[in-house]
């Protein structure tokens, strides 16, 4: 009800502004100002009728629903009606009041009838243009809102997938330790508990401090280190100011997880994971290299859901502000990721 009242306030304001411009600016300096005012008020109902037939029926019901032929036919009918109605108004109301052409006006003067539409359709065209512009703005805002809601839903879905995907890989690792009756199993479970606590209670936000994300990666790597022991050549390097910048939560974890899942196989006597992260000039640059378990024929880039989800999340979280390069060789898999951290969140 309030929206309806607000809309009609704008309608009333439009017609008041139109009358003010037409009468007090365009016609004010004429000697017969009172007559001009009366004539304008007489012609106003026809103009209002034409405007509201267009914006309440022809445009929303026909034009916007792509019924172009029907719209065109009705528009022709409306033009003819407007010409005849204007002619009748002129002869029986306007001319007698203004004494203009009163003695020689002809009803069925089609040329004059259609020429007089020049006094009608400017305001009709203006009102229609305002309506179409308003409709376009509302439609654009609605489509933008729907796209944003769709993107947010997709990002929540992808973020939710990180947890089970990560759990699947980690539990498999702990299971391997338990089969060997390794004393490291209890330590691995403790590390996993800390990681899950972090994911459940600290990652449900749009951005987290980069320092927190790095702590998560360190905990995860420590968990993996328990499994590989001395046969893993691990380098973990962090540089730059990581104290003040923020990043999307769990955006880096899938890349690290992929290193251990596909690049440090159990059949390899020696394997390596080299992680280098640098924050410089508002950019985060990550270079991640890992060995390739050649006993596995699958491509790291195209296997599983980890990297696929990571790419989609990057597109959603950092559109037009990230660059991802993946180099895959027979003995080396490399990920080079650059994220601009200056984007407005």
pLDDT in 10s for each residue of the chain, 345 residues: 454 456 778 888 888 888 777 777 655 555 666 666 777 777 888 888 888 888 888 888 888 888 889 888 998 888 888 877 887 787 777 777 766 554 455 556 656 666 666 667 677 878 888 888 888 888 877 777 766 666 565 555 555 555 565 666 677 767 766 776 667 677 777 767 766 766 666 666 778 889 888 988 888 887 777 766 677 888 899 998 888 889 888 888 888 888 877 666 555 667 888 999 999 888 999 999 988 876 665 555 545 456 777 888 888 888 889 999 999 888 889 999 999 986 544
Our measurement of the distance from residue 304's CA atom to the centroid of its chain's CA atoms, rounded to an integer in Å, reads 28
Q: CA nearest 81: which of 36, 55, 57, 50?
A: 50
Alpha helices per DSSP H over 25-109: 33-53, 68-89, 95-98
| Distinct helix (H) and strand (E) counts, the chain | 10, 7
Strand order in the sheet with 232-240: 232-240, 271-280, 283-291, 332-340, 322-328
Q: Does domain 143-340 have CATH number 3.30.565.10?
A: yes
The predicted model scores a pTM of 0.51
What's residue 4's pLDDT? 46
What's residue 1's pLDDT? 44
What's residue 339's pLDDT? 94
Q: Is 341 helix (H, G, I), strand (E, B) or coil?
A: coil
Instruction: Please provide the DSSP assignment of 36-58 as one string.
Output: HHHHHHHHHHHHHHHHHHIIIII
Burial class (CB in 10 A: 0-12, 13-18, 19+), 316: middle
Domain ranges of the chain: 2-119, 143-340
DSSP E strands in the chain: the ranges are 208-209, 232-240, 246-247, 271-280, 283-291, 322-328, 332-340
Q: Which two tokens stand for residue 300?
A: 């790291």
């Amino acid at each position: 009800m309030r929206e309806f009242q607000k809309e009609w306030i704008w309608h009333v304001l439009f017609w008041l502004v139109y009358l003010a411009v037409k009468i007090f600016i365009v016609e004010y300096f004429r000697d017969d100002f009172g007559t001009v005012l009366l004539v304008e008020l007489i012609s106003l109902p026809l103009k209002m009728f034409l405007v509201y037939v267009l914006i309440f029926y022809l445009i929303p019901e026909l034009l916007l629903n792509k019924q172009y032929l029907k719209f065109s036919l009705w528009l022709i009918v409306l033009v003819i009606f407007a010409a005849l109605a204007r002619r009748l108004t002129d002869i029986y109301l306007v001319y007698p009041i203004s004494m203009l052409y009163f003695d020689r006006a002809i009803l069925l003067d089609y040329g004059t009838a259609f020429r007089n539409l020049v006094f009608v359709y400017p305001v009709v065209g203006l009102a229609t243009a305002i309506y179409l512009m308003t409709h376009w703005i509302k439609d654009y805002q609605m489509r933008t809102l729907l796209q944003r809601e769709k993107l947010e839903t997709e990002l929540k879905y992808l973020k939710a997938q990180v947890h089970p995907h990560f759990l699947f890989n980690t539990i498999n690792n702990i299971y391997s330790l338990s089969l060997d009756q390794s004393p490291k199993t209890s330590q691995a479970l403790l590390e996993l508990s800390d990681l899950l606590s972090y994911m459940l209670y600290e990652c449900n936000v749009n951005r987290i401090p980069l320092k927190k994300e790095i702590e998560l990666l360190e905990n995860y790597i420590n968990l993996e280190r328990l499994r590989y022991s001395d046969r893993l050549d691990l380098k973990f390097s962090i540089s730059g100011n990581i104290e003040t910048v923020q990043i999307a939560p769990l955006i880096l974890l899938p890349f690290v997880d992929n290193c251990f899942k596909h690049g440090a196989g159990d059949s390899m006597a020696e394997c390596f994971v080299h992680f280098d992260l640098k924050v410089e000039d508002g950019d985060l640059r990550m270079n991640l290299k890992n060995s390739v378990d050649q006993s596995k024929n699958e491509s790291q880039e195209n296997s599983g859901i980890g990297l696929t989800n990571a790419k989609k999340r990057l597109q959603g979280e950092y559109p037009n502000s990230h660059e991802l390069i993946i180099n895959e060789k027979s003995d080396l898999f490399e990920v080079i990721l650059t994220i601009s951290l200056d984007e407005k969140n």
